[in-house]
Amino acid sequence: MTVTDGGEFLLLGLTADVAPGKNKAFQLNGHDVLVCNVNGEFYAVRNLCSHAEEKLEGGRIRGHCVVCPKHGARFDLKDGRHRTPPAWTGIATYPLRVVDGRIEVQLNPQDPPAPGRVAASGT
């Protein structure tokens, strides 16, 4: 197993578990991690909306954002930044890599960029 500055990468699941345009929640060592598949690119974020602490699992994927299924806030999967209200802060992200069809993450969540200016939406 590879050890990096952020700690070990741990097996979370398989890429086949998360279809393109979908997401799936995984629990590992007390972390609730949402893995999103954006056209074959995989991202891992904390499965908890910063607005009212609802689960993000099942939220639509739009571009590189996940849409909270409860009230519709969008979060950028690349860095966890919030993109639209009603959320005013972002969500944590997890370093993720794919090795031979396995999704591996480091369980050291990265804070999103500080709240404030919302960057122009990308894809």
Binding site for ligand FES (CB under 6 A): 49, 51-52, 54, 68, 70-73, 86-87
Distance, CA of 77 to CA of 13 (rounded, Å): 18
**Least distance in angstroms from the C-beta of 23 to ligand FES:** 14
Residue (13 or 74) nearer to ligand FES, CB: 74
Q: Is 68 or 103 the residue whose CB approaches ligand FES more closely?
A: 68
Q: What's 15's DSSP letter?
A: G
**DSSP assignments along 75-123, one per residue:** EETTT--B-STT--S---EE-EEEETTEEEE-S-PBPPPPSSSPPPP--
Residue carrying the six token digits 């639209």 = 84
* Rounded least distance, CB 11 to ligand FES, Å: 29
Q: Which of 70, 50, 69, 46 is nearest to 59 (CA)?
A: 69
45: Cα within 13 Å, side-chain hemisphere: 31
Rounded to a whole number of angstroms, the minimum distance from the CB of residue 51 to ligand FES is 3
Nearer to ligand FES, 37 or 47 (CB): 47
CB of 59 to ligand FES, least distance (A): 8
| Between 33 and 87, CB nearer to ligand FES | 87
